[in-house]
Structures are given as C-alpha cells and as structure tokens.
Chain A
Amino acid sequence: MSLDQLYQQIILEHAKARHGSGLASATVPEDASSGQSHQLNPTCGDEITVRVSVAGGKVSELRWDGDGCSISMASASVLTELAEGMSVGELRTVIDSFREVLRSRGKVPADPEVLGDAAAFEGVSRYAARVKCAMLSWVAAEDALGQALAA
C-alpha cells in the first residue's frame, strides 16, 4: 500500500481547511442543547475537544479545537461537514460505520453513500498505529452527542 493511498488528496486538503475548528470563539446556537468531550491520545499527545449542539432532533452545529496530525485534523474537519444537519440517528449510524471500517484492518470497505468524504479514511485502517488518530474526533463527537441528549 502506497503512502498516497493513506494520504489521499481529500485528507490533505481537509487537514489544512479544518472545517469546524474554532470552538473557543463559537457560542452555542440558540434553542440547542449541547455536550462537549475532550479526548487525548496519550501515545502521541494528539488532543481534541468537540462540542455537539442538537436542536429539534438534528445536529445543528459541531465545533472543535484540536492539535494533532493531518489524519486526526482532517478527520475532525470531514466529520463536521458530514454531521451538521444530520438527524441524531443518522450521525450515530455514520459514526458506527466509520468505526467498523477503521477497525477492520482493511477488511471492510468504506461505503461512500454512507460515509461521504469520510470514505477517504478507508486506507487508514491498514495502519494500526494511525486508527486512533482518525477515530479521535469521532469518539469525542459520540460522547458529546450523548451528553447533549442527556442535557
């Protein structure tokens, strides 16, 4: 497997664009309930804080602040674009699908219909050391979503 299959162009672009980054300066949308989760990868020091806001059964906003490698930053950026506007159920389905692909060691192909741009992370599943990088923001979002719904 070549490096370019891991670092697909779409990942490199998202790593720079960092959609949704800037949690500190964003306020929670009105009428939304929100939850926030901080996740750390102690082996490399990557960390991220994700806030998910829910209103009317839909994800009205996802914002995050983080510091990490291109895989973890691109993954948070892609997640933001996917999640906003989704129903709570849809986001859960997407997170489950992403986790299944990433933990499959290359055995489960990504379904672009479900995962959209996140399908580009399929190649990461072959790099055991990088799976955590890609999962970091998704684990945070799942936890934040649960808190938003419990709030």
Chain B
Amino acid sequence: MVATPAHLRRSATALGNEEVLRIRNDFPILQQHVNGKPLIYLDSGATSQNPLSVLEAEQEFYEQRNSAVHRGAHHLAVEATEAFENARETVADFVGAEWDELIWTSNATEGLNLLTYSFLNASLPGAAPEAARFALAPGDELVVTEMEHHANLIPWQELAARTGAVVKFIPIDDAGALDMDAAAGIIGPRTRVLAFTHASNVLGTINPVPALVALARSAGALVVLDACQSAPHLPLDVKALDVDFAVFSGHKMLAPTGIGALYGRSELLNAMPPFLTGGSMITTVTMERAGFLPSPQRFEAGTQRISQAVALAAAVNYLSETGMDRIHAWEAELGQRLVQGLESIPGIRVLGPAAGQERIGLAAFDVAGVHAHDVGQFLDSRGIAVRVGHHCAQPLHRRLGLTATTRASTYLYNTTDDVDAFLNAAADVRAYFQA
C-alpha cells in the first residue's frame, strides 16, 4: 500500500493566528514598513513571498552545486543533476504526478504556450503520425470559460486563428459560477480541448472539475487545467482530478520568478511534437534531422532553470510541512472574513460568490464612485498591498460591467489582523475621495 502524501492527508484543523505569526518570521520581506506602516501584503494572488528556506536553497545551490545538468562527468555536474531531478520528483509528488510527467517551464503562461504550440506543430504538414491526435482542423472547437486569465485564453485564440479551429466559451452567471447547463450544450463531438481554471483569480470560485472533466471525456476532448490559483492554496492531485494537463507558476507558491511547471499524462507528452528544440532534448542528430527524447527532456531544450527548480522544490517542501489542507482551511476562513467585511461596507460590490459560499482566500471588489487605481493608492498609503486593474481578465470584467477592480488575496502568512486592517482602510476609501 502506498502512503498518502503528507499534503493530502486530512487534518481538518486550519492554521491559526499564533501559528501564522510564527510562519511570518520565516519571511524577511514581511518585516518591513511601507509608508510608515507595517506592510500588510494582500497580493499573493499576483506573486507570493519567499521564506528563508527557499532563498537559502537557491543560494546553497549556487555556493555548492552549480553546474550544467545532464552532461559532464565531473562532481558538480552530478550534484547539480541530482538536485535538479530530485526537485522535479518533489514538485511532481506535490501535485500527484510521476516525475516524467512534470516539465519545467518559466511559468504557467509558458506551459500553456508549450501546449498550444505543440498542438499547432501537430497540425502542420509533416507532423509525426503519433501527433495526429493533437492535430486541429477547421471547425474543431477549443472550449474555455468566460472567467479565464488571458494566459488561458489568448494562446487558444492564436492556435484557433492558425488552424481554423474555433474558440467557444462557457458563460458565467451573475454570481460568477460557470453555467453548467450551457457547458453541457457547448461541449460536444467537435470539442477537442477543454481548458479552464481550477480557481478564478478574480472571483475566487473553485470550479467543479469532476463535472467538467466528465463532459470533456464524453466528448473525447483533452482537459487542460489552469492550476495557478489552486496549486499554491489547496491540496492538488492531478491524477485524482483526472485532467490531461495542468499548469502552475512557482512565484505564486513561495518560489522565485522564472520557474513553473506543466503536468501532462505520460502517453500524451510522449506523442506530442516538441515546442522548443535544440540541445539536451535529442537522441541522434544528423545534419538533416534529429530524434527526440521522451518526456520530460523532450520539452526541455537548452540549459534549464536549475536553481529556480531547486528553489521551487524547497517551496513545496515548506508548503507540505505546513500542510496544504490546513493552509486551504485557513485561507477559506480569511476569504470569508474578507467577503463578509467588504459586503458590510456601503458602496462596495464584491465579485463572485456571496459570503457563506465556497471561495479561496481572495476577493475582488468595486467601490462605487472610486476607480480601482485610486483605491489601491489609498490602501498603499496605509501600508496595504493589493492588486488593481483587470487582473488579466478583461472579458470577465466586461461581462460584469466593469473595467477595473481591486483585489485582496491572502496566503499562509496572513493573519485575521491583516484582513481587519484592510477592511478598516477599505471602509474609509469613499469618504477620502468624496464619493
């Protein structure tokens, strides 16, 4: 019997403020003052902060092991390769994948572009026979949702424009939930790919993955999961969810920028044409042609982001040791506190599920008569960091009749005091701007 990975064990108890205060000691950046006030960082949905163990892992790599991987017989090359591949195994394990199903990318955006360019290559004349299952033809349909981040929309638009395929989308209702009746009508025999976000970066909703996967399976479509807002915040098991591909970004889960991953089912990855080609991804090369290695090297041309991969592994170790179910439970509490507090402020409209409904630890909102940029500036003057703008989701904002909103997003290092300080400041915004 295989032991359940630590991060998937149910231990129901959420983190508490006392524990969070200890966690905060691991994050040097959170100790500072901004505009004369203690920094309150509520922008982890955009990028998260790094604990010392992550910073030290990257430094240790450069001080002790730095070398190119998968080449060279010298001591450092062996050490670096081992660190790099151990990191892959750690991160793969964190999301329930096998080591050879996890491909390093710069971020989730690159992961999605890797997929769409691979599918494009599969659609071109001369593609290998095993790639035919990914080839797109005019009339084929790529289905996304109305709540997607631009990263999970534009690559599909571009793929459609080059192949004659059509992008269709599942609409949302006014509360920000996917219209599953509509989804059942949209996903059909012509659907080749269903790509959707696990948790919305604007609405905070967690989408019904099993129901969507079931629709895709009955249509014979591939399933692509954008796990940017789920992998950092809740226990994620790509095998249990039965998705074909998933992407996430390291910088949203305590790691540095420049590292992310694409998960793909092994048999699919090994049939897909490469995206980037060059060194390290080949078997035999002649002046005329080259053979390609299986996954993951197949998709890792050129010298890789080695220290960042090592740092991402340190980040997921930090998350696993804290407990993903406990982080999830804590952030669910913070998310409810955010929504309840914001809903009680006159003139503020919260996007997405109402208080009491499931959401991750974030809330985007509109302040009547005050532009989001001004809201963000006002909060900054109180030392509070939030995101303002369209959050890379223009179609979603248009659907909700807005151009820009303000978003507060939590992580494992936020206390209820952080949320309350934010709510107090948010309550003063309209008076300041005489709205």
Contacts and interface: CB of A to CB of B under 8 A. Distances in A.
Contacts of A43: 389
30 contacts: A2-B381, A3-B378, A6-B377, A7-B374, A7-B377, A12-B433, A43-B389, A44-B372, A44-B373, A44-B388, A44-B389, A44-B390, A44-B404, A45-B389, A45-B394, A45-B397, A46-B371, A46-B373, A46-B404, A67-B403, A68-B371, A68-B373, A69-B371, A69-B372, A69-B374, A70-B374, A71-B374, A127-B377, A130-B373, A133-B373
Contacts of B381: 2-3
A70 B389 contact: no
Contact of B377 (A67, A73, A130): A130
Interface of A: 2-3, 6-7, 12, 15-16, 43-46, 67-71, 73, 127, 130, 133
A45 B377 contact: no
Contacts, number: 49
Contacts of B374: 7, 69-71
Contacts of B284: none
A130 to B, nearest CB: 7
Contacts of B432: 3, 7
Contacts of A71: 373-374
Nearest to A44: B389
B434 interface: yes
Given A70-B371, A71-B374, 15 more contacts: A3-B378, A7-B432, A43-B389, A44-B373, A44-B404, A45-B389, A45-B394, A46-B371, A46-B404, A67-B403, A68-B373, A69-B371, A69-B374, A127-B377, A133-B373
Contacts of A7: 374, 377, 432-433
Those 10 A-B pairs whose CB atoms lie nearest each other, nearest first: A69-B373, A69-B371, A3-B381, A45-B403, A44-B389, A70-B374, A45-B404, A45-B390, A69-B374, A44-B373
Interface residues of B, number: 18
Contacts of B394: 45
A72 B394 CA distance: 20
Interface of B: 370-374, 377-378, 381, 388-390, 394, 397, 403-404, 432-434
Contacts of B373: 44, 46, 68-69, 71, 130, 133
Nearest to B404: A45
Interface centre among A45, A46, A71, A133 (most CB of B within 10 A): A45
Nearest to B435: A16
A146 to B, nearest CB: 28
A126 B432 CA distance: 20
A2 B394 CA distance: 32
B433 A70 contact: yes
A54 B328 CA distance: 61
B24 to A, nearest CB: 26
A43 B403 CA distance: 11
A73 B372 CA distance: 13
Nearest to B375: A69
A15 B433 CA distance: 9
A3 B378 CA distance: 7
B237 to A, nearest CB: 36
B390 A16 contact: no
A3 B377 contact: yes
Nearest to A67: B403
Contacts of A2: 381
A7 B434 CA distance: 12
A70 B378 CA distance: 12
Contacts of B370: 70
A135 to B, nearest CB: 14
Contacts of A133: 373
Contacts of A16: 434
Contacts of A127: 377
Contacts of A44: 372-373, 388-390, 404
A44 B260 CA distance: 26
B94 to A, nearest CB: 33
B389 A12 contact: no
Contacts of B397: 45
Nearest to B394: A45
Could you say which of B374, B388, B389, B394 has the most chain A C-beta atoms within 10 Å of its C-beta? B374
Nearest to B382: A3
A7 B373 CA distance: 12
A43 B404 CA distance: 10
A63 B31 CA distance: 48
A57 B370 CA distance: 38
Contacts of A3: 377-378, 381, 432
